[in-house]
Amino acid sequence: MTESIVERGAPVAGSGVHPKAKAAIRSGVLAYFVDQFDIYLPIVALAPAGAYFQSTGIDAGTAALLNAFVFAATLIARPLGAAIFGHFADTRGRRTSTLVAVAGFGVTTALIAALPGYETIGMASAGLLIALRFLDGIFLGGEYTTAVPLAMEWSPRRHRGLVSGSITCTSPGAYAVVAAITLILLSVMPSAGVHSAYAQWGWRIPFAVGALLAVVLFRAYRREVEEPATERTRTGSPLPLLFKGEHRSTMVQVFVLMTGTWLATNAGIAVLPGLLTSHAGLTGRQVSVTMMVATAVTAATYPLFGLLSQRIGRRRFFIGYGLSVVVIGAPSYVLAMSVGNALGAVLLASTLVVVFTIGTFGPIAAYLTERFPDSLRASGYGVGYSLALIIPAFYALYLDGISHLLPGHLAPVVLVVVAGLLISGGAAAGPETKDVAMGRDTVGGSDGDEGVLSGA
């Protein structure tokens, strides 16, 4: 076991939280925000400028699939990044692995901001965009694989639900920020074809902001964050151990829950904005306002959901939340598609959709890190979090198939219902984790329990 950092200083007077814990948690919050900011760039900031990377003669269906693959490329690459960086985080340490991952996605995001378009290099522009988003996904998968366990291992047990919600609330918060930046840019330079100012260079500004955020994050981890007092894998790779013995059942259970989580997320975040335009009849500006408000409200619920899971237990929370996705999220989706272009009604329904599709993430950082022991935690968290991305990443294909049976605007409702059932079922198959000890569990208070839950 590594040297205990707790021994190097005392908790802040009256706070019960060690200063190094505060630095790790603060950096973990920023890390998750930067990660999610980067994830949403293609579906929010780049969407109005999609023609920049496409031929003017491309049909609408092909263009939609191309845009979906730009988004999916990052999601598909994240499990690979989680496996690579999880290995080094569990064998060499969380902090160094985080620094490498942050530097990597900062560089790739900057390169995307400098890409030429179809008129300059033809189809190679779209190919480079997809390739760089894939590479970006590897580094992003590595970043949250290392940064989130590091923050949670420093967190006092009794505060892990709140810390988890504070970290993950930056996801809808990041979406709201990207939407706000895009809205401001579009109001100044409307996107009106491939030669418009936004299509030519306006979309690059949010990507440049993402690269600059990576610089800020790198600086924070380099200057302020230290390793938590946790055990490391001493022999071999931690990755194969996740699929053996008791850990295999843990991975299967986590995979089911997270598949539902990502499926609901794609239906509520990736699909909803397009339908608000094509079916509900909202303008691009109205869609940006709607999603900005909906995600901002949802961000405020994450810490509350984290606190609720700390009170009633993670398992009970996820079972109940999955059922809420079915009985509240799905009907709200139907309502959003049924009220026409009445902005107030659409805004309310869309907010309910977002709250009850992506709210699963409130306690997820605490839950996934509690499900694995010290020596496998980064790999378990990262792979468990991101391996389940692959099946939901092809949501466009599923929607196309469902649309042969249902009207296209109702096809996502099926995904929402399936997602809710997977979340509840996955949670029911696992144990309660909120009282699990992580590391020495001595940072910031006398939580005191011993032992680490490693299997179902």
pLDDT at 9: 36
Helix, strand, coil content of the chain in percent (nearest 5): 75, 0, 25
The reported pLDDT for the residue numbered 292 is 84
Residues 6+ apart with CB under 8 A from 287: 273, 276, 277
DSSP SS3 for 367: helix
What confidence score (pLDDT) does residue 453 get?
36
Contact, 378 vs 321, CB < 8 A?
no
Query: What is the C-alpha end-to-end distance of the chain, expressed in Å?
Result: 25
pLDDT at position 269, please?
85
Residues recorded for the chain: 456
Please give the Cα distance from 163 to 152 (Å, whole number). Answer: 7
**The 3-state secondary structure of 230-271, one letter per residue:** CCCCCCCCHHHHCCCHHHHHHHHHHHHHHHHHHHHHHHHHHH
Give dist(CA 313, CA 152) in Å, integer: 17
**Which pair of structure tokens corresponds to residue 228?**
């938590």
**Amino acid code (one letter) for 392:** P
Q: Which sign does the torsion angle of CA 437, 438, 440, 441 carry?
A: negative
Q: Quick one: pLDDT at residue 456? A: 34
pLDDT digits over 165-186, tens only?
999 999 888 888 898 899 899 9
The Cα–Cα gap between 197 and 245 comes to: 57
pTM for the predicted model, two decimal places: 0.81
Domains of the chain: 17-428 (1.20.1250.20)
* pLDDT-flagged residues of the chain (< 70): 1-17, 60-61, 231, 234-235, 439-456
- Give residue 234's pLDDT: 67
Q: What CA–CA distance (Å, rounded) separates 307 from 25?
A: 16
Whole-angstrom distance, CA of residue 436 vs CA of residue 69: 39
Supply 186's token pair.
């579009």
pLDDT of residue 441: 52
Which residue, 261, 285, 264, is CA-closest to 273? 285
In whole angstroms, give the CA distance from residue 258 to residue 398: 18
